[in-house]
């Protein structure tokens, strides 16, 4: 059994037996890890709030080759992000982000994914209720790009012709980005992307802010995001947290 210490953020947790919890961590040095926190429900000294959703800290793990579960021996809390749990819009967006990572990230080390995830959760937590959805949409696109699925926005995905910034173009999911007017008839399916929407996407992918979205614009961006994920990453299982976030089920209850 090998001991490791790494930065980590909690993306999922559930009770196990009478006093323990099983936790899904995204770590900076070890990728996604499933860990068993023995006695976590009765030992505030060892874990404190370290087993709550979206918290961040330094995790001490014992890893035994061949086992699906590591053992979490301690968690030194750095950031609680309690503000996410105080608002349903923030919680819904953060839950959708966590689901994307849990479903599609690999177990291998990915420092960039860890950094983008931490930054996204910070932005969601710091957003007003009205801006939380925008922050989640922006973070989701950055996470997809980090996973290797960044959409092409500056030039045609098929013929590589540069597309003018003020041009409305077809966004083809199967092609992986925008396609020019000449190539659009060959696209299997897609949606017309106005200049403003394409500008927002470019800003989000570089970590910059974009103008606040209207309700209709936000819904359109969520729909585009969902279709892109299903085109490139679909494994046949529903994205329950993502669907609840998109439909507003978190806030309707």
pLDDT tens across 173-182, in order?
A: 999 999 999 9
Output the pTM of the full model.
0.92
pLDDT band, residue 252 (cuts 50/70/90): very low
Domains assigned to the chain: 2-80 (2.40.50.140), 85-147+212-252 (no CATH)
**Burial status of residue 220 (CB atoms within 10 A of its CB: 0-12, 13-18, 19 or more):** middle
Q: What's the chain's average pLDDT?
A: 91
- DSSP H helical ranges for 153-239: 195-205, 215-233
Q: How many CA atoms lie within 13 A of 25 on its CB side?
A: 33
> Tokens representing 104?
């599609």
CA 212 to chain CA centroid, nearest Å: 20
Measure the CA–CA gap between 126 and 201, rounded to whole angstroms: 21
């Amino acid at each position: 059994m090998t001991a490791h210490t790494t930065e980590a953020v909690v993306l999922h947790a559930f009770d196990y037996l009478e006093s323990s919890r099983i936790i899904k961590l995204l770590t900076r040095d070890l990728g996604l890890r499933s860990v068993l926190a023995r006695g976590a429900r009765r030992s505030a000294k060892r874990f404190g709030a370290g087993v709550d959703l979206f918290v961040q800290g330094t995790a001490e793990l014992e890893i035994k080759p061949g086992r699906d579960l590591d053992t979490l021996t301690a968690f030194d809390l750095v950031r609680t992000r309690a503000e996410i749990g105080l608002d349903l819009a923030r919680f819904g967006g953060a839950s959708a982000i966590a689901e994307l990572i849990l479903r599609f990230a690999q177990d291998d080390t990915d420092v960039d994914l860890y950094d983008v995830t931490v930054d996204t959760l910070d932005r969601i937590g710091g957003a007003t209720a009205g801006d939380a959805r925008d922050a989640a949409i922006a973070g989701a696109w950055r996470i997809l790009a980090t996973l290797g699925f960044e959409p092409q926005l500056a030039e045609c995905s098929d013929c590589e012709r540069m597309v003018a910034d003020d041009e409305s173009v077809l966004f083809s999911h199967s092609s992986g980005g925008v396609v020019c007017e000449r190539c659009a008839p060959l696209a299997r399916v897609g949606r017309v992307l106005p200049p403003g929407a394409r500008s927002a996407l470019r800003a989000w992918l570089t970590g910059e802010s974009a103008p606040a979205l209207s309700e209709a614009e936000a819904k359109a961006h969520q729909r585009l995001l969902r279709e892109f994920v299903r085109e490139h990453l679909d494994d046949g299982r529903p994205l329950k947290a993502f669907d609840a976030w998109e439909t507003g089920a978190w806030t309707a209850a």
